Homo-oligomer: A and B are copies of this chain.
Amino acid sequence: MNQPFIVLVTPQLGENIGMAARAMLNCGLEHLRLVAPRDGWPNDKAISASAEALLQMPAVEVYPDTKSAIADCHYVYATSGRPRHMVKPIYTAESAAIEMKARVTSGERVAILFGAERSGLSNDDLMLATSIINVPTSPKFTSLNISQAVLLVAYEWLRVNDTTPARRYDNPESRPATHEEYQGFIDRLEENLSKFGFFQAPDLKPTMMRNIQNTLRRAEMTEQDIRTFHGIVSVLTGSKIKS
């Protein structure tokens, strides 16, 4: 149980519960608790909207009130989009996730409360939490759908542990060309361009070749790309590849 509980307090639409569950599982969160869902539980619309996420998660736990839903938890965050005039620390979704990770790792059971669609959490529910999570939004349009709010909080949880490289390639069929392969193609291209009269002004040749090289280097060609471009030169010149 090394992850927080998501607690939806008096959620109304089954579709939102299902979308929230799907968002949770997208981010590796599996423990959903519901407080007095308006349309009861289980809810067919929720299961359908979850795109099978609810079927892959442990059973959803349903409680009559917020107090009982968090009774076994050591630390509770409340999500809120508007000022409440309560003296509680307010975290961004990112900083909450970082802190939450530290708590969960040291054995605390952590819950995150989300309020109902229109009204959000009541002040009495907010009082039960030690701190508030306020997901940053554009000040011009702050109202987040509940499943979108769950997604952003869950996504920040995922991000804490995510090690996906910022930029990568996914092309097992080919590998990046070496500089020797690049150079072999560029030398051949230059030779053919000279032979076919591309460089009308010989003093501009170094600049033109530099520009062509820069263009091709930006393409980050693979070994296969180099072979393809050799083929193009061969066909256009009626020659064969030098090897």
Assess the B25–A167 pair: CB atoms within 8 A: no
Check A196 for interface membership: any CB of B closer than 8 A.
Answer: no
Query: So how many copies of this chain end up in the complex?
Result: 2
CB A235 to nearest CB in B, in angstroms, measures: 22
Check A209 for interface membership: any CB of B closer than 8 A.
Answer: no
The 7 closest A-B pairs by CB, nearest first: A95-B166, A28-B138, A25-B141, A87-B171, A136-B164, A26-B137, A136-B162
- A and B contact pairs by CB, cutoff 8 A, 17 listed: A22-B141, A22-B143, A23-B145, A25-B138, A25-B140, A26-B138, A26-B142, A83-B170, A84-B170, A87-B171, A89-B168, A89-B169, A92-B164, A94-B166, A136-B158, A136-B159, A148-B148
- Measuring CB to CB, which residues of chain A are less than 8 angstroms from any residue of chain B? 19, 22-23, 25-28, 51, 53, 56, 83-92, 94-95, 134, 136-138, 140-145, 147-148, 151-152, 155, 158-159, 162, 164-174, 220, 222, 225
